[in-house]
Amino acid sequence: MRTAPAYQTLREQLRDDIAAGRYRDGARLPTESELVEQHGLSRQTVRRAFQDLVAEGVVYRVPGRGTYASDAGQRYLRQLGSIEDLMSLSDDTTMEVLSGLRRRVDLDAASRLRLDDDIVYTVVFRRLHDGVPFVTTIVHLAPVVANAVLSAPDLQDGAVGPQTVIGVLEPHLIEPIAEAAQSITVAPADSVVADAVSCAAGHAMLRVDRLYSDTSGRPVELSVSHFLPEQYTYRVTLRRSG
The pLDDT tens digits for 98-130 are 999 999 999 999 999 999 999 999 999 999 988
Q: What's this model's pTM, rounded to 2 decimal places? A: 0.67
Backbone angles phi, psi at 179, to 5 degrees: -150, 150
Same domain, 226 and 151: yes
In a domain, 107, yes or no: yes
Q: How far apart are CA 188 and CA 206, in angstroms?
A: 9
Same domain, 178 and 85: yes
Residue-by-residue DSSP string for 161-219 = ES--HHHHHGGG-SS-EEEEEEEEEEEE--HHHHHHHT--TT-EEEEEEEEEEETTS-E
Provide, rounded to the nearest whole percent, the portion of the chain with pLDDT above 90.
53
In a domain, 175, yes or no: yes
Domain CATH code at residue 69: 1.10.10.10
The predicted-structure confidence for 160-210, as pLDDT tens digits, reads as follows 998 889 889 989 998 988 888 999 999 999 999 999 999 999 999 999 999
How far out from the chain centre does Cα 175 lie? Answer: 23
Domain CATH code at residue 130: 3.40.1410.10
Q: What is the pLDDT of residue 75?
A: 57
Q: What is the pLDDT of residue 51?
A: 86
Same domain, 55 and 152: no
Last residue of a domain, one of 39, 59, 74: 74
Q: How far apart are CA 217 and CA 213, in angstroms?
A: 5
Q: What is the pLDDT of residue 219?
A: 93
Last residue of a domain, one of 74, 94, 115: 74
Query: 110 or 69: whose pLDDT is higher?
Result: 110
- Counting the structural domains of the chain, the total is 2
Q: What is the pLDDT of residue 131?
A: 86
In a domain, 240, yes or no: no
Provide, rounded to the nearest whole percent, the portion of the chain with pLDDT above 70.
86
**Span 128-154, average pLDDT:** 93
Domain boundaries, position 104: 76-235
Same domain, 82 and 109: yes
In a domain, 241, yes or no: no
Same domain, 88 and 104: yes
Sign of the four-CA dihedral 153, 155, 161, 166: positive
Same domain, 102 and 42: no
